[in-house]
Amino acid sequence: MSYKFDIINVIYIKEGNVSIPISIIIPYEHHPLRLPLLTFCVKSLVRAAQCEICIVETGPTAYIHDHINAFREWIRKPFRYLKVFTFHPFNRAWAFNVGVKELATFEHILLTDADLIYPLNYQTILAQTRPPAAAWNRILYMSKEATDRFLKSESLGGPYIRSTTPEKMGAAGGAMWITKTIMNHVEGMPEKDFYGKYGEDNAFWIKLEAFGYHVGAANITLHHLYHPNIGTFVNPKRLIVHDMLRWPRERWRAYQCSWGSVDRNQLLT
């Protein structure tokens, strides 16, 4: 089933119980310690009335593909999946871009990490928020103790390690509320120099502003599940974001001539 929307006709109502279909894109690279986090993240997301779960699995293994029937059974929502074999450090921005171009069928899109827990009313609040926007205004980082308790009982609470609010040059990411129209206009998240951890969310925020968009924030508190530092490769080019602050739109267009491109030989079909 597919839906078509005209973005011009969408009105973001600031009150009331409103719902619009959402494509939820989650990049995932398998590790035994990541799987429980993905499971509970998706569980919190599928409580929404109208959504599809789109998982882009990268890396050298195909865990979800090998357990695809089990995933479909417990998700019980439209589930779209793509496996791309990669042998380079995790490129999260590229995986998001692939999800938008290859999997998402709805106009409205939530780009989210796999270690976040969403409140029951998140879809209603997003429907009241004009994209582009951080899909949160506060993230509470749960301690290992709090995360272990949640994984056993689904009871959210402290102790917390820290909390953050969205900032262009600070904690800019985790979850972004966007549309296909905007993604096509700006030609995706910056992915070219973002292999490894850090920087791509800041670059995306800067790029959106260069194209004339105001980046807002949804009135949502998210919980971040604790996990050890599994991906240890820190992006050596992450500081390029400081130069990007001065880039005009033309420089952005020249910087990344394609986005979300996939070598079909790397796909598992």
Element (H, E) at 100: helix 92-102
What's residue 68's pLDDT?
A: 87
In the numeric block, which tokens belong to residue 144?
Answer: 């290992």
pLDDT tens digits, one per residue of 136-181: 999 999 999 999 999 999 999 999 999 999 999 999 989 999 999 9
In angstroms, what is the C-alpha Rg of the chain?
Answer: 18
Q: What are phi and psi of 229, to 5 degrees?
A: -75, 80
Q: In a 10 Å sphere around its CB, with 0-12 CB exposed, 13-18 middle and 19+ buried, how is residue 248 labelled?
A: exposed
- Which portions of the chain are predicted below pLDDT 50? 1-13
Global pTM exceeds 0.85: yes
Q: Which of 30, 28, 29, 40 is nearest to 142 (CA)?
A: 40
Q: What are phi and psi of 210, to 5 degrees?
A: -60, -30
Q: Which of 123, 188, 133, 118 is nearest to 166 (CA)?
A: 133
One-letter amino acid of 264? R
What's residue 16's pLDDT?
A: 52
In the numeric block, which tokens belong to residue 26?
Answer: 């989650």
Q: What would be the CATH architecture of the domain defined by 18-266?
A: Alpha-Beta Complex (3.90)
